Every structure is written in structure tokens, then in C-alpha cells.
């Protein structure tokens, strides 16, 4: 019950904060894209959160922890801040682009297509977390949980599938919010993910048995056939 209450509270706070950014930047609450985005994400988060609570509560407990933790490499603490800032600032920019400045004119059909892409990206990320019970929000070796190398599912394709799914998530967000310029967030986020992946791989190679062998078998870190 305590874990459920923590999940509900964090979900309410997170999306209330996100809503304040989106509608504040838009300058109005009469913003269909903003309501589409928040409605879809709250629904998906609620359904998946309840599922994880029932099937893997230890994973949910990890996902609800702070993005800055004890045992986390200092370099990861530094890279988390610009990643979070980019996500928050980009969402505000997307909303302002579509509503306040009206730089982007996107047909409703593409915004609905963005909802589909957002749904697909969320399902992919859910698959990643279903496969990897050690998918913590920070870089660390979870010795207390007996962390092991995960090699199946999406991890048989790329070594960091969570970040891969996040790129499509941010692209879907841009479409739902109706911002062409917002699509530029994806390559910027990919660059920051690249730095974080290097930090994460150094940590995993040094502290997780078998990770070096896994990295030799699965060549691609983030984008298949690219890197």
C-alpha cells in the first residue's frame, strides 16, 4: 500500500508539473495537443504502474527513487541534470511553438499519428522494463538485488534499448504537441544519451560480471547499424 501511494503521489506531482510547463508556455489551457499528451501519458503510466506493482514491485521501487543517488558515479549525476533540463525546456518550447508563437502549423491527423507513436514508444519502454528488472533511473551496480547482465528481448538488439525508445517518445511528444521544431530535441537528446552511455558502460564493465562478453556479442549501443 505504501508503494502504491508513493507511485500515485509521484505520478500526480510529475504530470501536474508537466502540465504547468506545457500550458504555461502555451499561454492558454485551450490547447488540444497539451490535453492529448497529458491524458495519454497519465493513462499509460497508471496502467503500467499498476501492472509493475503487481508483477515486479522491486523494479517500481527503483523507478520511484531520486535521479541522484548514493553510489552513482559523479559523472552520471552531472549528465542527468542537462538531460532533465532538455526534456522540460523542450516541452515548454513545443507548446509555445504551436500555441503562443504559432511557428508550426501541424494538421490534426499528424497529432493523432503522434499519439500512436507515443503509445508505441511507451510500449517499447515497458517491454524494456519487463525484460530488465534492474532498469534503474541512475547508473549503478545493484548488488543488493543481485544484478546480472540481461541479454534477451530488446537487449539482444541494442545494449541500451531504454534510450532508443526514449528518442521515439520525444519525437511522438513533439507531434502530439504540434511542433515541427520540437523534433530537433531528438538528436540533441541522442547526443546526451551518448555521453551517458559511455559513463554507464564504464561502470558496467568494471562492476558487472559478463558485461564485457555481452558487449562484444551485441555490437550496437543505441541505434542499430549506426552506433
Give the distance from CA 163 to its chain's centroid.
7
Instruction: Report all structural domains of the chain as residue ranges with CATH numbers, in order of start.
Output: 2-217 (1.20.120.1630)
Cα–Cα distance measured from residue 151 to residue 12, given in angstroms and rounded to the nearest whole number? 34
Give the contacts of 180 (CB within 8 A, at least 6 positions apart).
97, 103, 104, 106, 174
Residue 72 DSSP label: S
* pLDDT given for residue 144 in this prediction: 86
Element (H, E) at 147: none
Element (H, E) at 55: helix 32-55
Per-residue pLDDT of the chain (227 residues; tens, 9 = 90+): 799 999 999 999 999 999 999 999 999 999 999 999 999 999 999 999 999 999 999 999 999 988 888 878 889 989 999 999 999 999 999 999 999 999 998 899 999 999 999 999 999 999 999 999 999 888 888 888 888 999 999 999 999 999 999 999 999 999 999 999 999 999 999 999 999 999 999 999 998 999 999 999 999 999 988 88
Amino acid at each position: 500500500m505504501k508503494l502504491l501511494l508513493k507511485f500515485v503521489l509521484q505520478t500526480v506531482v510529475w504530470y501536474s508539473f508537466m502540465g504547468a510547463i506545457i500550458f504555461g508556455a502555451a499561454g492558454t489551457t485551450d490547447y488540444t495537443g497539451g490535453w492529448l499528451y497529458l491524458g495519454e501519458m497519465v493513462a499509460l503510466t497508471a496502467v503500467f504502474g499498476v501492472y509493475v506493482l503487481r508483477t515486479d514491485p522491486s523494479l517500481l521501487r527503483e523507478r520511484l527513487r531520486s535521479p541522484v543517488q548514493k553510489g552513482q558515479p559523479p559523472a552520471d549525476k552531472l549528465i542527468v541534470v542537462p538531460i532533465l533540463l532538455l526534456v522540460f525546456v523542450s516541452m515548454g518550447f513545443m507548446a509555445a511553438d504551436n500555441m503562443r508563437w504559432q511557428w508550426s502549423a501541424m494538421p490534426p491527423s499528424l497529432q493523432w499519428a503522434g499519439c500512436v507513436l507515443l503509445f508505441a514508444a511507451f510500449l517499447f519502454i515497458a517491454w524494456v522494463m519487463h525484460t530488465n528488472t534492474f532498469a534503474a533511473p541512475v547508473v549503478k551496480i545493484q548488488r543488493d538485488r543481485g544484478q546480472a547482465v540481461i541479454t534477451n528481448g530488446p537487449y539482444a538488439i541494442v545494449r541500451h534499448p531504454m534510450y532508443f525508445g526514449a528518442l521515439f517518445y520525444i519525437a511522438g511528444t513533439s507531434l502530439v504537441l504540434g511542433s515541427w521544431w520540437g523534433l530537433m530535441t531528438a538528436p540533441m537528446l541522442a547526443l546526451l544519451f551518448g555521453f551517458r552511455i559511455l559513463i554507464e558502460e564504464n561502470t558496467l564493465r568494471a562492476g558487472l560480471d559478463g558485461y564485457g562478453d555481452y558487449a562484444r556479442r551485441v555490437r550496437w549501443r543505441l541505434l542499430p547499424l549506426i552506433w
